[in-house]
Homo-oligomer: A and B are copies of this chain.
Amino acid sequence: MNQPGNTPRTGGQASAGLRALVVDDEPPLVKLVSSYLEREGFQVASAADGERAVELAREFDPDVIVLDLMLPGIDGIEACRRIRSFSNAYIVMLTARVEEIDRIVGLSTGADDYITKPFSPGELMARVRAMLRRPRTTRDHASPVRHVGDLEIDPGAREVRRSGEPIELTKIEFDLLDVLSAEPRVVFAREQLLERVWGADWFGDDHVVDVHIANLRAKLGDDPRAPRYVRTIRGVGYRIGDRT
């Protein structure tokens, strides 16, 4: 059902029969976005929190997911990860703060695009169309396993192994390792790690980073005096990667 005037030429046709899932805790926004998507020919479902989002992603099996970063329950990043573990949908993340983009990109969330609030529905639609136009092959989550020495990091499965032996990490520990290992050899300041792992709106002491790094090291069997994985750059931050 193409609306004359409002709907750009390409849209209606291309998205006919596709399903979209909108996740946000603000009903008006959900409604607005949904109506735009419907006008494009999408069949739309919506959720207001993270748990429901993951559920619906599974049951409804959408082709496109518009996902807010800030959600009650499990947050957008975690929801995105979980959904990505079973779904192949295109995911657009909504963020209220520009700085959060770093987080989405830095952590391996699996999002395909992001857009900052406030945004115009037209822009969002343009992004969605652009994504759909992108060949699926762009989805190169194929072999994302990283190696650091005898360490094996699988961001998709959120698993770490040391010489084959699985190591159990907490969320924060894994995220730290994730961010650090995504760019080996690059030094991350504590502030950067806070921003990436904790989020831009964190207000607290840098010191938490040290503690979690210590715990991470302990689990990895890493000696701070002679670290094989996570090394300290005094006065600056931490780094992972090849031996010096």
Contacts and interface: CB of A to CB of B under 8 A. Distances in A.
Interface of A: 1-2, 6-8, 10, 13-14, 98-99, 101-102, 105-106, 114, 116, 120, 122-123, 126-127, 129-130, 133-136, 140, 154, 156-159, 166, 168, 170-172, 182-183, 185-187, 189, 191-192, 195, 206, 233-236, 239, 241, 244
A123 B129 CA distance: 21
Q: Which of A14, A158, A166 has the most CB of B within 10 A?
A: A158
Contacts of A172: 235
B99 A122 contact: yes
Given A7-B191, A8-B236, A98 B116 contact: no
Contacts of A183: 133
A157 to B, nearest CB: 4
Contacts of A106: 8, 10, 129, 133
A197 to B, nearest CB: 11
Count this chain's copies in the assembly: 2
A187 B235 contact: no
15 contacts: A7-B191, A98-B120, A98-B122, A98-B126, A101-B123, A101-B127, A102-B133, A105-B127, A105-B130, A105-B133, A106-B133, A133-B183, A156-B186, A166-B244, A170-B234
A116 B154 CA distance: 33
Given A133-B105, A156-B187, A186-B157, A1 B206 contact: yes
A122 B101 contact: yes
A243 to B, nearest CB: 9
Given A101-B122, A168-B244, 11 more contacts: A8-B189, A10-B102, A13-B187, A98-B127, A116-B123, A156-B186, A156-B187, A158-B187, A171-B233, A171-B234, A171-B236
Contacts of A192: 10
Contacts of A8: 102, 106, 189, 236
A239 to B, nearest CB: 7
Contacts of A123: 98, 101, 116
A206 B235 CA distance: 21
A68 to B, nearest CB: 17
Q: Which of A6, A102, A126, A170 has the most CB of B within 10 A?
A: A126
Given A133-B106, A157-B186, A166-B244, A101 B116 contact: no
